[in-house]
Structure 1
């Protein structure tokens, strides 16, 4: 069980009334302060001064990302500019299939759950969001919209990180 899953389950089991609900049509506000730098299988939060390339994505209500496949080189810090051209909230979450599957299942059970990590961006209709991510490990990774029903409808993509 990953850290996010175990934390959420602990909060739910103890009946925590402080669990915030912010999905649906509500906008997520980026928290002030430093970005949480935690090494993940798919990389680590990047810094603006280290950006080596910018990739623009479009998310739409046909439950697709454009583009839905990207190639990067190990060590690249990518600035993702994520546009929501739809009429409903969408998000982009980078991860591996196992973690995205687990998170998507939780989102189906608790569609209003709030989460904020440096590898995800929640983008309101007609707005633009962003992620800055350093791909310091090679491999094949995924990204998806985990809002309830969107992942299941095929709102997913692939990131291939080539070894140096």
Structure 2
């Protein structure tokens, strides 16, 4: 991300706090308003009526996800149920390795950064969150907890989207 793009993104985050939810304020993974249907390299927000499969993902304070590798078929809409059995906040963020690394660096600089994207689920200790995602592009992607220190500790998983 260029410095000007980063500055623009940060300015937008500072000017639109009402449209976002802080990492620490959300514990059910829901969105505060309508879901933005924006195509990403790893897919697009899904609709509940299109869900064909549910995948449960456990998060723990040993900085691991279970399962840590997931395979889905192109065109599948998945309901992810995230369980945080730890004592600290965790999150599940889908993306490319490059985007996750960039976001993790940004989170180090702005740990209280507010955002609410359909490919992110923030889960308070002992809570559960849900996320629905439509995988319409083949490829290998990742999911990670980008809270400061978690990504660096290895709280990362792989998601492989294979042709139908």
Please give the TM-score of this superposition, normalised by the length of structure 2.
Answer: 0.88
Distance in 1 separating the partners of 2:7 and 2:53: 34
Count of residue pairs brought into register by the alignment:
159
How large is the Cα RMSD of the aligned pairs? 2.3
Distance in 1 separating the partners of 2:141 and 2:21: 28
Alignment check: 8 A CA contact 1:73 1:162 kept: yes
Q: What's 2:157 paired with?
A: 157
CA distance 1:143–1:6, change in 2 (3 Å): farther
Alignment check: 8 A CA contact 1:21 1:113 kept: no
Distance in 2 separating the partners of 1:137 and 1:100: 18
Deviations 1:77-136 (A, max 9, x none): 000000000000000000000100000000011111111100000000000001100000
CA distance 1:18–1:79, change in 2 (3 Å): closer
Q: Which runs of 5+ in 1 are unaligned?
A: none
More helix by share: 2
Distance in 1 separating the partners of 2:126 and 2:158: 24
Structure 1 runs (4+) greater than 6 angstroms displaced: none
Alignment check: 8 A CA contact 2:21 2:115 kept: no
CA displacement at 1:21 relative to structure 2: 8.5
Deviations 1:35-91 (A, max 9, x none): 110000000000000001000000000000000000000000000000000000000
Alignment check: 8 A CA contact 1:5 1:103 kept: no
Distance in 1 separating the partners of 2:48 and 2:65: 23
Q: What's 1:128 paired with?
A: 128
Q: Secondary structure at the match of 2:108?
A: helix
| Structure 1 residues 7-46: aligned runs within 5 Å | 7-10=8-11, 16=14, 22-23=22-23, 26-28=24-26, 30-46=30-46
Q: Which runs of 5+ in 2 are unaligned?
A: none
